[in-house]
Amino acid sequence: MRERLKALIAQMRWSGMAAVLDEELDLAERQGTPVPEVLFRLLGAEDAARREKSLAYRLTQAHLPWPWTLQSFPFARQPSVNKAQVLTLAGLEFLRRGENVLLIGPPGTGKSGIAVGLLREACLNGYRARFYNAQVLLDALYASLADRSTTGLLNQLCRFPLIAIDELGYLNLKPEQVNAFFRLMDQRYSLGLSTLITTNLDLPDWYELFQKKPLVDALLDRLQHRCIILRLSGPSLRSEPESAATIATEASTAAAKRSASRNIAPTDESSAS
């Protein structure tokens, strides 16, 4: 009977159940476990395996460029970021309400890190999400014009409850790209879908980027209607902070050099301070 069960489970492609079948049946034989309990544990194993497989698929489909999480974000090094606000966003109520998130700040201040972390949280909680570099997305929209697949591409992009558009900055844009980008944002707005954008341009600078005032007016009107804006500032997180040990070593070395130049024995000025 066990072999027949294995064959049937394999036919049904229940990999989670197949992985624990022998263990659960052996346990049931030793302990006299009731049949309903055995079935419950087998179905639970299958459900867990399917959830894990679905999560792996969502994370792969999201195209996250870095393995960053909100738990690994260096909040202590970036005081301009409101940690409580970011962790509240991680609860994904903005996504359920169809709100946009706009991260504005200079390069290196953590915009992309927060964006990746929020997309990862969305995937972990059962949402489909997708990360795009702004230039790559705009180039794809432009390329779709050649074979008239723009409508299909826009529909595909609107199947994701959340997309992140990273590094919307000083790009060289053709008028067709600008129009296609507006169509994307308009379609997502109409469907109540959330879009997360990171940019080093404040909103008034978007007029220079897109070069079409009426279009930018309409774009910002839709974007800001349901929008949470985070403004980041401060030093670049790409520069590693000096440790206390490094500073002390450099101070001792400098003191030694000064003492040697005066031809006297060096003193540990760093410890004295």
For residue 233, pLDDT over 70 is answered with: yes
pTM: 0.80
Provide the pLDDT for residue 249: 38
pLDDT digits (tens, 9 = 90+) for 162-214: 999 999 998 989 999 999 999 999 999 999 999 999 999 999 999 999 999 99
129 three-class SS:
strand
For residue 260, pLDDT over 60 is answered with: no
pLDDT digits (tens, 9 = 90+) for 74-129: 999 999 999 999 999 999 999 999 999 999 999 999 999 999 999 999 999 999 99
Mean pLDDT of the chain: 87
Choice between 131 and 247, residue whose per-residue pLDDT is larger: 131
In 3-state terms, the chain is what percent helix, strand and coil (to 5)? 60, 10, 30
Question: What value, to the nearest 5°, has the Cα angle with vertex 50 and ends 46 and 51?
Answer: 115
Which domains are present in the chain? Answer: 2-61 (no CATH), 70-231 (3.40.50.300), 249-273 (no CATH)
Q: Which of 123, 62, 121, 59 is nearest to 87 (CA)?
A: 121
**Structure-block tokens of residue 58:** 């969502």
For residue 66, pLDDT over 70 is answered with: yes
